[in-house]
Amino acid sequence: MKDYIILMADIIGSRTSNQTRLIADFKELVATINEKNKHYLVSPLTITLGDEFQGIIGSIAGAVTIVLDLEEALIRRNAGFKLRYVIVEGLIETPINAEIAYGMMGDGLTRARKYLENIKKEDTRFFIWLKDQAQKNALNNLFIALQDLIGDWNIERDHRLIIAFLEYIDYKRVAMELQKERSLMWKREKTLKINSYFALKEVANYLTHV
């Protein structure tokens, strides 16, 4: 028996009534993230209930990286739905299935599912529980700020622009790539709080590597 980092998430909204397409997009997203982050995975992200997944991650740094990758992938795809996440450090009592995150049992998995159910009643998409309480509190506060920042983005209206900033970061490069006025891109960089977004990512990296 050993403590692991458990990541669970579920879909919390969709702009389409086409559930078949939604689940297909969700499956493709999970497969892409698994491939990109396989070096972090003890057991891959596995869809368990159609609109939920769970996975076992080798470190808190890996779990946070995967969540941020998922968030950016959803934006890039203009997916039309958001995810709610819990990251929990906890015990898994059964052998780890390295092929599929299914059929395992333990207090960590039980608590992760309980936390996922609990935050459905709250106005939050992220919850983290770690033994290191200071790290846990810092990361939860960071994700509160991140949720507020991303929540202000109008993905429908600014999709191409936001993707460009995620790709190139600097407003001068974005202006060149999109053939826009530099002054306009500078203003949009400020209104979208792009520098704040990347600053939060840097803080997340620091907090998970201390």
- pLDDT tens-digit series, residues 20-43: 888 899 999 999 999 999 999 999
CB-facing half-sphere around the CA of 158: CA atoms within 13 A: 17
Domain ranges for the chain, please list them: 2-152, 155-192
pLDDT digits (tens, 9 = 90+) for 73-105: 999 999 989 999 999 999 999 999 898 888 889
Q: How far apart are CA 52 and CA 23, in angstroms?
A: 10
pLDDT above 90 for 210: no
Q: What pLDDT, on a 0 to 100 scale, did the predictor assign at position 13?
A: 74
**What is the percent of the chain where pLDDT is above 90?**
84
Do 82 and 12 meet the contact criterion of CB atoms below 8 Å apart? yes
Q: At 17, is the pLDDT very low, low, confident or very high (cuts 50, 70, 90)?
A: low
pLDDT of 132-160, one tens digit each? 999 999 999 999 999 999 999 999 999 99
Residue 121 burial (C-beta neighbours within 10 Å; 0-12, 13-18, 19+): exposed
* Whether the Cβ atoms of residue 21 and residue 30 lie closer than 8 Å to each other: no
Q: Homologous superfamily of 2-152 in CATH?
A: Nucleotide cyclase, GGDEF domain (3.30.70.1230)
- % of the chain with per-residue pLDDT over 70: 98
**72 confidence band (pLDDT: 50, 70, 90):** very high
**CB-based burial of residue 173 (10 Å sphere; 0-12 exposed, 13-18 middle, 19+ buried)?**
middle
Q: d(Cα 71, Cα 59) in Å, to the nearest integer?
A: 19
DSSP per-residue string spanning 124-179: -SEEEE-SSHHHHHHHHHHHHHHHHHHHT--HHHHHHHHHHHHHH-SHHHHHHHHT
193 by Cβ neighbours in 10 Å (0-12 / 13-18 / 19+) ranks as: middle
pLDDT at 15: 58
Structure pTM? 0.95
State the Cα–Cα distance between residues 142 and 67, nearest whole angstrom: 13
pLDDT score of 167: 97
Determine the longest span between alpha carbons in the chain, in angstroms: 58
Q: In the prediction, which pLDDT does 19 show?
A: 81
**Rounded CA separation 143/71 (Å):** 12
pLDDT at 14 > cutoff 70: no
